[in-house]
Amino acid sequence: MKPVFIAGPCVIESQELLSEVAREIVRLNDTYGIRIIFKASFDKANRTSLRSFRGPGLEKGVAMLKKVKDEFGLKILTDIHEAWQAQPVSEVADVLQIPAFLCRQTDLITAAAKTGRIINIKKAQFLSGKDMRYPVEKARDAGAKEVWLTERGSCFGYNNLVVDFRNIPDMKELVPTVIMDCTHSVQRPGSGNGSTGGDRRFVPMMAKAAQAFGATGYFFEVHPDPDKALSDGPNMLRLEDLEAVTGGLL
């Protein structure tokens, strides 16, 4: 069975950016017979600085994602930060993502689960893989039919993350779909003078290591020019490199 792939820009910057990334994802899906789910955030509510770009907001952002879905026929994943956002976002998104910092928020998880959409819960930087049994239980008890878990690294020292790949098999004991977030796991949180730094060189290696530990999906934030991206540029993969990285995992 081929893995699940999730890819797209960190945040919605413009409709033109979404279309450029979507066209490449459609090409890769057609070329390799895979399903890359399109990802972009309408609001980055967890930026390091108040002055950082957050995105267009829910109403405009969801409309822009709907345009991608209608024009390119792609499945959509986006994250929510508050319980009230679950229902309106679920009208477009096929997968609702729970951010790592919020994976213990009961009301957020249950609201997402009640929409009937797939729920992707990112493992918090302060939890182990085994600890994710409780968010999964909350989602299932609230009616979620399908729950995914995502590994994205753990806090380690100052301005750094480390990935314990043993979390992947631990989480596979809880759900069948465990995704490796290959780009956020190379972040250096808060290291960029009010923004998050990172090192995209390690993204392909994160993916291959996760594959060895049994990951069933891979998450890549991509951008045509990451150094000019409005969020998470240092750890994002160049759009032109997505084919080589995904192809190497098939």
What pLDDT digit, counting tens, does each position of 20-72 carry? 999 999 999 999 999 999 999 999 877 566 666 788 999 999 999 999 999 99
Residue with tokens 């957020």: 108
Total-model pTM: 0.94
Please state, in angstroms and as integers, the Cα–Cα distance from residue 169 to each residue in 138, 187, 215, following that order: 21, 23, 8
What pLDDT digit, counting tens, does each position of 140-163 carry? 999 999 999 999 999 887 778 899
Cβ atoms of residues 38 and 68 within 8 Å: yes
Domain carrying residue 11: 4-247
Please provide residue 21's backbone torsions phi and psi, each rounded to the nearest 5 degrees: -70, -40
Q: Indicate which CATH number applies to the domain containing 63.
A: 3.20.20.70
What pLDDT digit, counting tens, does each position of 99-120 carry? 999 999 999 999 999 999 999 9
Number of independent structural domains in the chain: 1
